[in-house]
Each structure stands twice: as structure tokens, then as C-alpha cells.
Chain A
Amino acid sequence: MKLILKSDQFDNLLLILWSIILVFLTLSLLLFILTLVKKARRIRRDKIKRRYQEKINRILFRFMFESLDMKRTVRIFKRYFNQKGRLFALITTKSLIELHRIYNGDYQKKLEDFFVESGLSEYSIKLLESRNWMYKVEGIRNLSELSYYEGAQQIKEHLSNKNEMVQEEAILGMIRLKGLDELMDLKDMDIYLSDWLQANIIHIVQSKNFNKPNNFSALLDSKNPTIQLLIARMAQYFQSTEITADLNLIISQSTNLKLRHQMSTIVENLNSIKI
């Protein structure tokens, strides 16, 4: 080692190592400061969020259950929206969606009207034009959860979006808005409906109390096995025992083991209902 120490090469090596140490030290310090800044920002943002949420809750409560009329509510909302920006819109829409899920009838209609009058529907439509897929998903969810039927066409355009998340949200959005008849449009699509996506679709059917579509068994003509499975699952939900023969036919013809296994279970369940 003593011999190497004497060479210039070794001095250079030491210099390089010292430089790397300096880089690590600087990066460490930077990371530490960034963590503290992030923490401070988060604490501040949480405070702001809480404050906005309180404001929104107050406005919406007065609008829903007291005498605050649409015009005044919209005026108050717009004043805050202009001051506070996107975060305020985001929290308001979230609150609207939550309330929309809880209430029904006139209350639901009131919330939907507010969504339109406040300009939040327009704002959500604009989100669909964003390049960021997360904004697109947010826009689709806002529009479909708050039953903005005028937005259906724009959502439909995203059924063939290259981004899987946007495409899936568009499917869910269209079903929320158009009901199970929308499945006819999906019938010939080459999309993979994962079990998770199917669970979401069935959840929508349950929460919106959709009726069984008229052309139910026609949907089984789909060449897409995931759509066939979805229809079978829905048949189980609607207890449509009349399509067990069609399901048995698919089971006998399909080479897809997973499909056959899952459909057989469903057919067994449907048969037990018959009995």
C-alpha cells in the first residue's frame, strides 16, 4: 500500500473519493432540508384542507337543509373558488360526491344542479382534456358520480383511451350514467375486464339499483370471455336463472379454464336458487 501511496494515480483516486464523499454529504444535507420543507408544507396543506372542508361543509349544509338558495350558494362558492383555486374545487367536488352517495331524491337533484350551476361540471369537462391521465380520471369520476348526463359523449371518447386507468374509469363512468344498456357497446370490445373492474361494475349496479337489461342473454354472444364472465356474475346478482342454459353452453365450448371454473360455480349457485 505504501508503494501505491507514492504514485500520482493513488492521489487522484483519493481526490475522486473525497469528491464523492462531498457529493454524499451535500445530498444528505439537501435531503434532510427537503424532508423538513415537505413536512412543513404538508402540515400547512392539511390545515388549509381542514379549513376549506369546514367552509364547504357549512355552505353545503345551509344549501341543503336551510334557506340558502342556489344563486347565493353559487356566488359564495365562486368567490372562494376564485380566491383558493383548484384545491377548493377538488374538496367541494369530493364533498358533493359523498353527499350524492348518501342522499337521494330531491337532495340528490339539488347537488347535481349545484354541480352544474357552480361551474364545477364545466371544470370537470376541462379536466378530460388534460394531458395528465390522473386529471382525466378525476374528471370522468366527477361527471359520472354527479350524474352529469351531458358529459357522457366526452366520457365515451375515452373508452378507447390508451391509458388503462382512463379506459377503465370511462367504462365505469358510462355505466354510471347510461346504466347496463351501455354493456351492449362494450360487448364487442377487446378489453380485459379484470375481476377488480368487474367488482366495481357490480358495485355500481348494486348502489344505483339498476334493473336487469332487456337484452341480457344477448350479451353472452360476446367473444370476450371477461365480458361473458361479467354477465354471468350479473346473472347471479339478478338471480336470472333463465340463462343457465346459455351459461352451460359457454362452459362446454370454452377452452378458458378460469372462465369455465368460475362460470360453473355461478351456474351451481343459480341452480340452487332454482331448487
Chain B
Amino acid sequence: MEIGWIDTGIVIFNYFILLFALSVMLSYTILAAISVFSLKKHLKKNRFVNYSVLLSLPDCPKISLIAPAYNEGMTIQENVLSLLAIQYNNFDVIVVNDGSKDDSITLLKESFDLVETDKAYNAVIPTREIRGIYQSSNPAYSKLTVVDKVNGGKADALNVGINISENPYIVCIDVDCIMDKDVLLKLAKSVMEESGKPVIATGGVIRIANSCIVKSGKLIEVNAPENLLSRIQVLEYLRAFLLGRMAWSKMDGLLIISGAFGLFDRKIVQECGGYNTKTVGEDMELIVRMRRYMIENNKEYCVKYIPDPLCWTEAPETYAILSKQRSRWTRGTMETLWIHRRFFLNPRYNILGLLSYPYWLVYEYLAPIIELLGLLITLIFLYFGLLSWPYFLVLVLLVYTYAVFFSLLAIYTEESTYKKYETFKDIFKLSFAGISEPIIFHPFIVYAALRGNWEKISGIKGWGDMTRTGFLKNQKR
């Protein structure tokens, strides 16, 4: 009787793991197919677009770029200059110094001739205390507002920026990101071309800028990163943005707009209460809350997504920093999924409740836990001599070959669409990263996600220090 029970358990386990792996592959493939189809359509449609039309239009949508800064003294001057140089008429830049411990605020004051204003601060969204609001006495920087505040985290700093802004749209960015100069033109178009339903948010694609050449805050040459870890992250981003989010956007099921770059309707953000300061996944949480707010109040809306690479960021180059980043992402996902657990299989939230939420729960949050369980049970089988090596090897090989195939599909899609990587060498480097990723990178990502779970359970909060190498080393090249 005992043997029969064990056998049944083994059979269930085998089929569960196999079905889970196959369902992951199937869902990725379906999403990729929808993405490629939509991407092609988007590119065809935008082939004839003349974005400069907006430069001559006095009443194009007014946008505030909000950039929270914490200890960014090394690069803040150049980053702000780069933001001010963006091509658009109706925009301003709000830099929020989130109680930096370095000399960021002094540098900003000196570099941009800032003087304190007596502008009243209306905290529609409650925030930490404001120390001062500064504007430049130099007309060349008239678009710049700097807010100095007590440290309260990224979400709190963004909320301050939202409160300060007087424009109908806000673009929340990381101050160290490199933006394409026509980024606001593209975002504005997304708002303007919608017929009927108001656009409450637009997400864009983030790309990795490690080893790329940057000059005066402008990306002038795109290269595949030298560092293998960041090169693998290039692939990760390509897969996520080109083969994943595009499909979710097409199905109106987008649950995340990256914190590094996104446009929002300021009024709706304020009505929703702004960024949640109690979660480290404030970017995902905000968009889920905004959508929930619109649905629960029976308001028509749409969330858009621009697949063009518009924002370039620096990826972690060491396992230590990557681990912090990924465990934080896991905590953020857990928190958002928990806060909005009402979505789960709830038809009231349409595709969000019936597909997006369950997908995130199973394939984003639970997947690493399932992988760990699979590994532990396999080890138990091995210990008791129950492991079927042929089955085990076939399963591992199946998952490995699919992972490689999917990465190569992402590279092919990139080459067929945006063609940002210029040389054969880049293609070889990225392909090699695709081959090595499942062996050297994926296990670590699973570990980091599990660590995130552990941190959440044990009550660890906060972001942890995210030391960056900076684009400076590439600028010298």
C-alpha cells in the first residue's frame, strides 16, 4: 500500500512539472506571436509619421518630467542637462532631491543658478516634508524646477513631483536614464491619436545601456555589453519588452509600466492617491491601482504601450547588486498581488482579473517557488534511487533548448524591427549570452526571487543600495 502511494505521488509530480514547463512554453510562444504581429503593425503604421509636427503646435499636451534623485551627485548635472535638451515644446522638468546625503542639491543650485521660490506646495498626495522649491534665475533653464525634501524613498519623491506639477500629464523617470530626444513627441502622439477613450498611462521600452557610448547625455552608439551578466539582461529586456509586454498591451492586459519610464494622467494619479510608499514595487502597484480605480468607477480609459526603445538604463554588473534588484522586484510583485488580490479570477476586471493577474501569480511569482520544489523533490528522488535519469535529462534539455530558442527569437525580432545592434559581433555576443543564460543566470535569478520571498516573510523592507558604475566610463571611450 505504501509503495502504491509513493508511486502515485511520483506520477503526479512528473506530470505536474512537465505540464507546468509546457504551459510556460506555450504561453510564452502565444505572447511572442501576438507581440510580433502587433509590433509589425505598429512599425508599419508609424513609418509615415512625422513627429516634428508637434514641434510647431503650441497646444500639444503639456507634460512634466519628474526625476527623483538620491545621491546622484556624480552625474546629476549632466543628467538634468540631458533632460532639458529633450525636443518638445510644452514640458517642464521637476527634479526631486530625496534628501540625498551627497552634495546633489548644492551642485544643482550652483550649476543651474537656482533660487528658492515662495511657490506654495499643495500636498494633494500626502508626502514627507519639503525643504524648498527652487527655480532657475537663468532663462535658459526656465523649464527646471528643483524640489529639496526630506528622504522618503522613490515613491514619496515622485509624489512630491506629482503635487508640484501643473501639467495634465507626468512622465516619471529615473534621473540616471538616458532618454531619446524625441521621447516626449512619441509619448504625446500616443495620447493624441486615441479616439474616444482617454489615455491614463503609456509605457515605453527600457533598454540596457552598458557598454554603449554616451556623449553629452545622448546615446550615440549601441553595443552589446562586454560584461556577460549585463549582456544576459539585454536579452531578458528584449524578451520582456519585445515579446511579452507588446502582447499584453494588445490584449489590454498590461499590469506594469516600468518605474524607469512611464507617462501618466496626473489627475487620475492624484485621484488614486499617487505612488504607494509602502511597497517597493510602486511602479506596478500604481498602474494596477489606476486600472482598478477606472474599472470600479465605470470610467472609460486605455493604457498604451510604445514598443520603440526610448529609455536606456544601466543594468547591474555584479551578482550582489543584481540579487538586491531582483529580490526587490519579487517583494514588489508579492505586495502588489496581495494588495489587489480581489482581481484574481474576477470577471469584473475583465482580462486583468481573468488572465493578467493569474498569469503574474503563477508564472512570475510562483514559478521560482515551483522550480525550487521541483529541485528539492528531484534531490529526494536521487537520494532514494527513484530518479529516472532519462526522463530527468530529457526534461532539463527540453527546458534548456526552449530557453535558447526563445532568446534567439528575441534577437531575431530585434534585428527585424529596431536593429539597434549594428555589428555581427554584437549578434554573436548576444547569441552566446542566450546559450549560457539558462545555466549561469537563471539559477541565480531563481535564488534572488526566493530571497525576495524570504525577505518579505522576515519583514525586510527598503531598496538596499544600488551602486551603479555610471555611464561615465563609456563616455570616455
Contact = CB atoms under 8 A, between A and B. Distances in A.
Contacts of A18: 394
Interface in A192-209: 192, 194-197, 199-200, 202-203, 206-207
Given A14-B391, A169-B48, A31 B11 contact: no
Contacts of B211: none
Interface stretch (B189-197, B322-330, B447-455): B189-197
Contacts of A141: 48
Contact of A2 (B189, B192, B386, B394): B386
B148 to A, nearest CB: 33
A4 interface: yes
A50 interface: no
A236 B58 CA distance: 10
Contacts of A2: 386, 388
Interface stretch (B77-85, B97-105, B307-315, B400-408): B400-408
Contact of B427 (A39, A196, A199, A203): A39
B402 A24 contact: yes
Contact of B398 (A17, A138, A195, A207): A17
A233 interface: yes
Contact of A24 (B192, B193, B405, B431): B405
B411 interface: yes
Contacts of A265: 59
Contact of B189 (A27, A196, A207, A236): A196
B10 A17 contact: no
> How large, as a class, is the contact surface on chain B?
35 or more
Contact of B405 (A31, A34, A197, A236): A31
A32 B431 CA distance: 8
A144 to B, nearest CB: 12
A113 B155 CA distance: 60
A269 B192 CA distance: 21
Interface string B173-203: 0000000000000000101111110000000
Query: Secondary structure of the B side of the interface?
Result: helix
A229 B387 CA distance: 72
B381 A1 contact: yes
Nearest to B13: A1
Contact of A28 (B189, B386, B405): B405
Interface in A38-93: 38-39, 42
Interface in B4-42: 7, 10-11, 14
A10 B45 CA distance: 50
Given A36-B424, A203-B56, A21 B411 contact: no
A169 B49 CA distance: 10
B56 A206 contact: yes
A34 B431 CA distance: 13
B193 A28 contact: no
B390 interface: yes
Interface string A200-244: 101100110000000000000000000000000100100000000
A36 B388 contact: no
Contact of A203 (B45, B53, B192, B193): B53
Given A17-B394, A28-B408, A199-B60, 10 more contacts: A1-B386, A14-B391, A14-B394, A18-B394, A24-B405, A25-B401, A197-B193, A200-B53, A202-B57, A236-B59
Interface of B: 7, 10-11, 14, 44-45, 47-48, 50, 53-54, 56-57, 59-60, 189, 191-196, 381, 386-388, 390-391, 394-395, 397-398, 401-402, 404-405, 408-409, 411-412, 415-416, 419, 424, 427, 431
A-B pairs with lowest CB-CB distance, top 5: A195-B192, A24-B401, A196-B193, A196-B192, A31-B408
22 contacts: A1-B381, A2-B386, A4-B10, A5-B390, A21-B394, A24-B401, A25-B405, A28-B405, A32-B408, A32-B431, A35-B431, A36-B427, A38-B416, A39-B424, A134-B48, A169-B48, A192-B195, A192-B196, A194-B194, A195-B191, A199-B192, A207-B56
